[in-house]
Amino acid sequence: MKEGKSNIKGLDENQVATQRVTFGSNALTSDYQSGIRQIIKEIVLEPMFLLLICTAVIYFILGEIHEGILMIVALFFVAGISLYQEQRSRNAVDSLKKLSSSKAKVLRSGKILEIYSDDLVVGDIIMAEDGNLVSADAEILEAHDFSVNESILTGESLPVFKSTTFEQNRIYKGTQVLSGTCTARVLAVGQHSEIGKIGALLDDIKVVRTPLQLQIRKFTTFMVVFGMLAFILVVVLTYLQTHQIAASLLKGMTLAMSVLPEEIPVAFSTFMALGAYHMFKKGVIAKNPYTVETLGASTVICADKTGTLTQNIMELVAVYDMDSNRLFDFTTQPFEYCKVFELAMWASEPDAIDKMEIQLHQVFGQVSTCDRRPTSSLVKEYPLGGSPPMMTHVFKHSDASYTIAVKGSVEGILKQSTLNTTEIELILKKVEQLAYRGFRVLGVGEVVFNGRGALPEEQSSFVYDFAGVVAFYDPPKENIQQTLEVFYKAGIDVKMITGDHAHTATSIAKMTGIHHAGSVMEGEEIMKTEMAKLQLDVKTINVFARMFPAAKLKIIEALKANGEVVAMTGDGVNDGPALKAAHIGIAMGLGGSEVAKSAAGLVLMDDNLLWMTDSIALGRRIYENLKKAIRYIISIHIPIILIVALPMFFYWSFTDIFTPVHVIFLELIMGPTCSVIYENEPGEKLSMLKAPRKLSENFFSFKELSLSILQGLAITAACLGLGYYLIQQGEEGSYIRTMVYTTLFLAMSF
């Protein structure tokens, strides 16, 4: 049906290695070394690290070599742990990024392989298709109905159609394939590509601070400032009493170290990283570990129908032939040939990748008694376009006859048909009957053409003879009802967003168990509705049909304006904007396009929405346990601060109950202990039966921390009460310190 490229074998392994050495990698950056330097820089500039250095220096100045060495050991211990944890976290993120990064189909040694796009080299033969990101700058060798979105380079979002002509035969790394397929030879990779030259780095993992991150950052910043003020105050007061600058600095360091909540950011990062790891084991890739925090707060899930709620298998189930007014119902009878069926096949891509088109080709091969596909050639193709969309193909057969076939939206083809009003009403009634059964319906038509005269530039110029419709059924996934019921019990609303006919959407919504599935809103209506009214509508309407990218995006924005925390699932190119706009974008790992996976924050590796229920439960458990860990840290920090400060301010006869060595030892125990123990705490039994928490909930409000404060004050009273009693009894300082330290350590353990 088309000229092949069988003479092209692609590069072999030796050529790939040579090309990689000569022209470099297809990765846009290589920041491993800079990453190590950045980690070391962050560690060295940490307040606790600087305090440890200053404290060690002061100990050596005072001649307390033993304590100075202990501080140096603690310094390297803290730095080593930080370096190890940071590098491990970054490696984990890099691994997750690799797993969720775009892939490319490449022809090497005569075999088609799927590899990571970073592994491409100059000279590789690549195949790009609808839904992909172009993996490298390349020259088109063969194209079919092929268009791309080059807005990342040009700023222009309109489709750009490509072909093998000199003016249109270049495609560029990072651009989005909107339709069709192409085969191309790689011309430039990595930093030598157009996107590499202008520095427009496509970074799938964007670190956006979540509300909890901001709260923790604000709290730790406040405590750092407070620690600096406390340090200055203690140094001044101690110096006025003793006139010993080194000893005064040492006491100031002790208080400053006790104030810094170093363990809170560490615990937070640890919980998020471990959460991402646990999600990965369940088949969910979190491209940003901090997505885990937002998961537990989700209030609405906007689910794409095809591939998310349904199996995305697209079975051919019916054909309606208008000429004979006959419905071929393949759910009750075997496949049978009819002209409508053949026209639908001719209107499909010769090398089909769409599931419906694959089904049409396969079934036609079973029922046809005269298969003209091997001896026919594609003369012209009109890509999927228009509103509603349709596509037209022109084929020339071996007997010099032509077939011009169209398929697509029934409404779109009817607008350009020769049918009268009565006939149109009949067709629409048949479409409704099929749609009510949950079938996806496509119109089919033809144009009689004898080869004389020129074909129009646009398919909108055709007048079609309407032939009939073909219907496909995409059954719901087996476990989808149980999955949605878990969401509802957890207080999470579910909304279906689909491009299908309203009746089809309603039928599938009822089958899958979506609540209040009777009310439907369509894309065109959404775009005409004022945002204020739409915000009210989205509260009660759960099914949205005939949707397109702009309408999906408007729904997401309306839900967010209502204060909802929105998770959006999708797999197609047209889901990209909505996936990006949602709080949590969820792409399908198996059937999803590279554009969808690039825009999303989560990727379901096996396309099973059931794992989202486990992930949300995990998100809630992590949040609850993180709250316990932070409460623990604060309840212990309070007595450490007060045990250091109060004896000094009340002029006790023995004020050096704790020194920097004791404080750093306590904190070295506290951080790992709370992270390990609390992270492994099981979730609350009724966690998934509660309404989602508010994303704006303040983690550090007095209401949240009141119990921790009371516990901290109680521990302080016990420790200082014991210390004061022992001072009054005339006990030695080392004995007093040991008893107070032991009491605090036991309190930490319980």
Confidence grade of residue 590 (pLDDT, cut at 50, 70, 90): confident
For residue 574, pLDDT over 50 is answered with yes
Residue 38 is predicted with a pLDDT of: 65
Give yes or no for a contact between 141 and 8, defined as CB atoms under 8 angstroms apart. Answer: yes
What residue has token string 């009268």?
Answer: 420
Sheet bearing 566-570, strands edge to edge: 284-286, 602-604, 584-588, 566-570, 300-304, 493-497, 543-545, 520-522
For residue 444, pLDDT over 70 is answered with yes
The pLDDT of 69-86, averaged and rounded, is: 69
Residue 187 is predicted with a pLDDT of: 94
For residue 231, pLDDT over 60 is answered with yes
Q: For the chain, what's the residue count?
A: 750
What residue has token string 């990024």?
Answer: 97
The yes-or-no answer to whether 283-311+477-615 and 315-473 have a common fold is no
How many C-beta atoms surround the C-beta of residue 237 within 10 A? Answer: 15
Among 726, 685, 684, 661, smallest CA distance to 67 is for 661
CATH topology of domain 283-311+477-615: Rossmann fold (3.40.50)
Distance CA(125)–CA(112), nearest Å, equals: 9
Long-range CB contacts (within 8 A, 24+) of 94-101: 96/205, 96/276, 96/280, 96/285, 96/286, 96/287, 97/204, 97/205, 97/287, 99/285, 99/603, 100/204, 100/285, 100/287, 100/589, 100/597, 100/603, 101/204
- In terms of average pLDDT, the best of 86-90, 386-390, 398-402, 573-577 is 398-402
Higher pLDDT, 19 or 750: 19
Q: Pick the range with the lowest mean pLDDT from 23-27, 359-363, 666-670, 705-709.
A: 666-670
Sort strands 543-545 and 520-522 into parallel, antiparallel or unpaired: parallel
Among 302, 298, 314, 312, smallest CA distance to 547 is for 302
Sort strands 125-129 and 176-188 into parallel, antiparallel or unpaired: antiparallel
Residue 329 is predicted with a pLDDT of: 93
Q: Which amino acid, one-letter code, is at 127?
A: M
Mean pLDDT of the chain: 83
CATH topology of domain 315-473: Calcium-transporting ATPase, cytoplasmic domain N (3.40.1110)
For residue 82, pLDDT over 70 is answered with no
Give the contacts of 552 (CB within 8 A, at least 6 positions apart).
Answer: 302, 497, 544, 574, 575, 577, 578
Confidence grade of residue 243 (pLDDT, cut at 50, 70, 90): confident
The pLDDT of 51-72, averaged and rounded, is: 76
Give yes or no for a contact between 540 and 495, defined as CB atoms under 8 angstroms apart. Answer: no
Domain residue spans in the chain? 7-203, 283-311+477-615, 315-473
Helix (H, G, I), strand (E, B) or coil at 180: strand
Please determine, looking at this structure, whether the domain spanning 7-203 carries the CATH number 3.60.20.10: no
How many C-beta atoms surround the C-beta of residue 181 within 10 A? Answer: 21
**Which secondary-structure segment (H or E) carries 494?**
strand 493-497
273-307: pLDDT as tens digits: 778 878 888 888 887 777 777 888 899 999 988 88
Confidence grade of residue 671 (pLDDT, cut at 50, 70, 90): low
Residue 5 is predicted with a pLDDT of: 47
